Amino acid sequence: MDFLLNEEQLILQDSVRQFVNERVKPIASTIDAEHKIPDELIRQMADMGFLGSYLPEKYQGAGLDILSYVIIIEEISKACASTGVLISGHTSLACDPIYRFGTDRQKEKWLPHLATGRKIGCFLLTEPDAGSDAANLSTTYKRDGEYFIINGSKNFITNGAFLGTGIVFASSDRNLRHKGISAFIVDLESPGVVILKNESKMGIRGSYTTAFALDEVRVPVENLLGEEHQGFKISMETLNGGRIGIAAQALGIGEGAFERSLQYAKERKQFGKPIGDLQAIQFKLADMHTRLEQSKMLTYRAAWAKDHLPNYAMESAMCKVSASEAATFVTKEALQIHGGYGFITDYEVERMFRDAKITEIYEGTSEIQRIVISKMLLQSK
């Protein structure tokens, strides 16, 4: 079993690291403070191919593999988790379902705009009463000639405020629960799409997290994604891939905090010597590094599985729960290593500590991941 990156992936990794050092890291604190990722940075990332990394070239994507996509998010998230999740939400949750479930006409119409960043994508599943219980949607739709009409509300929508391309989930009959749900490709500049608010958050402050009202939104019948009432399946399979992106984000956050802690341990002196000479600090670094390496193996394996296996739900759930919990553990230890300095905003580990927690929550909480894993274990022969 080969755990080494190939030459193309190593070149990509070096290229992303250079981009991050030049374009992302210098403004990461500003992104957090101003709650906004600059349009110019998004354009630069689109020019680098980061927004359509694994889409085929015929849709103006970069034609890379899933592991390369993971590397992009991981490296960017070492400096700015908000920027990392913009790419993850856009690619895994908007580009991917259109690419996997869309018709040829839908792919040709929507994917080039997404791959080149002319539109930023998002995934409108979550509602005030439908989080982990995704089948409990209150957003409804009905057929009206050559249109579907959608009414309802959505919240916690990553990338929502860009008003780009949304994958919207709605039910024809709430009594049917998951069997009544369909998926639609929606231009979020359509009449009836109303932003209620953008949330002010503890972490990933540069990432838009938007609440919507959908009031008589008319969607052409041709925008139905997959077959009618196939929406729940589309949402679950999409989230399987999305969890790999969040694992990559969490891995990057943890690695960024670890790298800064290792350097700090070499430079910071107490009792007349670097604190890295103290066994208490050495053990922290050892545990942090071990947790991250475990998560990296699971995340990279899940990326491989998405490219090669028909079902990778187990792999995606394991890497997500492992990497997200490693990120919260590592950033907490990073804060402790930095002492009082870690608690002030001049040191990046404070921001990373705040950013890490959400990775245990969105795209399926750690509890949901354990349900997925245990069910698959108990159902296996």
Residue 125 main-chain phi, psi, to 5 deg: -110, -50
CA distance 329 to 336: 11
**What single-letter amino acid sits at 249?**
Q
The single residue listed with the structure tokens 């780009």 is 164
Q: Which stretches of the chain are DSSP H helices?
A: 7-19, 28-34, 39-47, 66-77, 81-90, 96-101, 104-115, 231-267, 279-308, 313-338, 348-356, 366-379
Q: Pick the closest to residue 336 from 259, 280, 267 (CA basis).
A: 280
251 class by beta-carbon count within 10 Å (0-12 exposed, 13-18 middle, 19+ buried): buried
| Selected catalytic residue, list 40, 348, 363, 367 | 363
Beta-carbon neighbour count of residue 304 at 10 Å? 16
- Give me the numbers of helices (H) and strands (E) for the chain, helices first please: 12, 10
From residue 314, how far is each of 235, 262, 318, 327, 360 by CA, in Å? Answer: 16, 33, 6, 20, 17
Measured CA to CA in angstroms, residue 236 lies from 92, 183, 297, 370, 372 at distances of 12, 12, 23, 15, 11
Q: In angstroms, what is the C-alpha Rg of the chain?
A: 21
- Based on the residue annotation, tell me whether 363 is a catalytic residue of this protein: yes
Catalytic residues: 363
